[in-house]
Amino acid sequence: MTQCCINPSILSADFVNLEAELQRISNADAVHVDVMDNHFVPNLTLGLPVVQRIQAVSPVPLDAHLMIADADRWAPGFADAGLASVTFHAEAAIAPIKLARELRARGAKAGMALRPGTPVEPYLDMLSELDMLLIMTVEPGFGGQAFLDVTLPKIRRARKAIDGSGIGVAIQVDGGITEDTITRAAEAGANVFVAGSAVYGAEDPASAIDRLREAGSQKSRSSAE
């Protein structure tokens, strides 16, 4: 089993003090940056110029989650900005294989996200084109929502397919991740965890990251045995 990663989401951070907020999570594996266009999801956050500034000052690599329509057109620009990984939504991409290849060609890891109601099966044959599969565990758009246990069987099926094919695709989960739900997601096969409110809502975000990492890794290990 690959190592468990904790990627705090800055959606729950103080947007006026982003540089300081990034310093508070310097023990994270990456920072999860939620880009929303008020079209693919009913919320608006930040765009490429702000992401570029975050990239310039962040102590950890950037993991962009693009909740935007017309991903084929806009996602490559985020890879050009030097981000470690760029994740587009399958539902927003017309040519996901072409787009994943384009992201990789521009030096970013290619991620593809699925909304809770989108099945993974139609995408199993293209998993080798990806570095990461993001299985949303809430409807995308807002932080602070409750984890949807109904997504667990999908995580299990994706893990089975990935392990069976021997390709090294990470499974990221995003939405409602807490010290409690992370164990269920890890048991099902996820190994990269996004947490917004559980990290930035904590008194000490850095210790919240450590606690989540421990909870997520223990389960990851036991599920591999």
Interaction between residue 89 and Zn ion (CB under 5 A): no
Rounded to a whole number of angstroms, the minimum distance from the CB of residue 197 to ligand DX5 is: 3
Enclosing H/E stretch for 110? strand 109-114
Residue nearest to ligand DX5 (CB): 196
Piece in contact with Zn ion (CB under 5 A), picked from 45-53, 62-70, 103-111, 210-218: 62-70
* C-alpha separations of 119 from 36, 79, 124, 153, 222 in Å: 22, 26, 10, 10, 26
Piece in contact with Zn ion (CB under 5 A), picked from 52-60, 77-85, 159-167, 172-180: 172-180
140 half-sphere exposure, CB direction, 13 A CA radius: 34
Rounded to a whole number of angstroms, the minimum distance from the CB of residue 2 to ligand DX5 is: 20
Interaction between residue 63 and Zn ion (CB under 5 A): no
The tokens describing 80, both together, are 């050009």
Tokens 């995580």 correspond to what residue?
155
CA dist 68 and 33 (Å) reads: 13
Q: Which residues bind ligand DX5 (CB under 6 A)?
A: 9, 11-12, 32, 34, 65, 138, 140-145, 174-177, 194-198
C-beta of 128 vs 139, nearer to Zn ion: 139
3 state SS of 109: strand
* Active site annotation includes 174: yes
Rounded to a whole number of angstroms, the minimum distance from the CB of residue 20 to ligand DX5 is: 19
Sheet containing 5-8: order of strands: 5-8, 192-195, 170-174, 132-136, 109-114, 85-89, 62-67, 31-36
| Residue 177 CB burial class (10 angstroms; 0-12, 13-18, ≥19) | buried
Q: Which does 195 bind (CB under 5 to 8 A by kind): Zn ion, ligand DX5, none?
A: ligand DX5
* Active site annotation includes 204: no
C-beta of 120 vs 212, nearer to ligand DX5: 212
170-174/132-136 β-pairing:
parallel
Q: Which does 216 bind (CB under 5 to 8 A by kind): ligand DX5, Zn ion, none?
A: none
C-beta of 74 vs 142, nearer to ligand DX5: 142
Of the candidates 14, 29, 34, 125, the residue annotated as catalytic is 34
C-beta of 32 vs 161, nearer to ligand DX5: 32
CA dist 115 and 119 (Å) reads: 8
Rounded to a whole number of angstroms, the minimum distance from the CB of residue 165 to ligand DX5 is: 27
Rounded to a whole number of angstroms, the minimum distance from the CB of residue 222 to Zn ion is: 26
Closest alpha carbon to 85 in 131, 129, 23:
131
Catalytically active residues are 34, 174
